[in-house]
Amino acid sequence: MSLGPVMLDIAGMELSVNDRARLSHPLVGGVILFARNYASPAQLVELTAAIHALRIPPLLIAVDQEGGRVQRFREGFTRLPAMRELGAAWDRHPHQARQLAWQTGYVSASELKACGVDLSFAPVLDLDYGQSCVIGDRAFHRKPQAVAELTHDLMRGMKAAGMMAVGKHFPGHGAIQADTHVETAVDRRPYVDIKMADLIPFRQMIGYGLHGIMAAHVIYPQVDTYPAGFSRVWLQDVLRQTLCFEGCIFSDDLSMQATHSYGSIEQRARQALQAGCDMVLVCNDTEASDQLLNSLPWELSATSMARLARIRGERAKYAWSRLHESEQFIRAVKAISAIAA
């Protein structure tokens, strides 16, 4: 059985009978975990082992572990700084900030890998325009070059721990105030303005070898009438052709309010996959998940399957019990704890 194109969530800290049945469906290819799924590193190791044991090849396990206010696993994990703190450090001392970014990526990915998590949806590549209610301090900086440099080193740190990076939210979510979780978001800027600012970190990170990108649910009407994650213009013409991205494209959560005017969950998933997404996320709505699995006939292309295989990354360098014996890990934790306090 190969991986399917749908990533789902689960309800609790262990797999229920319904979870096992749902995750065994051939359309499912991954699981995204939330704070409700976590109690301790030991519990997380057991949960991820149970998920991975369900299928061959194992399902991908993902989480949003960016740092700051978006860190799903906290107790027992290193506290990660908000990425804006790294941007502030870059203003004072760019070289030191890049080292901190590397250490942040390394610590985050090392802890997740040691607990059986395959990837974190990070880093945020959105620019910090100072007005987005949902991005805010999740963004590194207002300057595109600062974002590109810091996220490059964070990605390098993640890769050193065996984890691939997933940049988000393409082509840029930072210039609007609206939160796509609860409302429609529209960015009315012309393409040239986006190209000369927001796309720069994406372009440079692709050149550095970025393996994954998550598309925004934002509408850019000067470019296309569809949100970026449903748009062949953005995903095929711009991302694949112009920017030459060959990695894995993830949709943002198709249960978010910004997608509801685009039909049933099946119609939304079909639009996202036809536009160019390799995997779609459906979270916090078991009714929609079941409806989708019962109605969406879809097989991943060989190209998408290869992309998903690469995004899994490498095996963990250390088990959780051995991780905190590593001198490199200990030094990195001390460095980032100073700015995350």
Cα–Cα dist 316/138, whole Å: 26
Catalytic residue among 9, 153, 252, 278: 252
Pick from 185, 144, 188, 171: nearest CA to 238: 171
Task: Annotate 222-257 with b (16+ C-beta within 10 A) or e (fewer).
Answer: ebbebbbbbbebbbeebbeeebebebbbbbbbbbbe
Catalytic residue among 25, 52, 181, 324: 181
Q: Which amino acid is at 305?
A: M
Q: Is-catalytic flag, 285?
A: no
CB atoms near residue 28 (< 10 Å)? 23
Enumerate residues 6+ apart whose C-beta is below 8 A from 249.
Answer: 212, 213, 214, 215, 235, 239, 276, 277, 278, 279
Tell me the three state secondary structure of residue 152. helix
Cα–Cα dist 275/282, whole Å: 17
Q: Is-catalytic flag, 181?
A: yes
Which residues are identified as catalytic? 181, 252
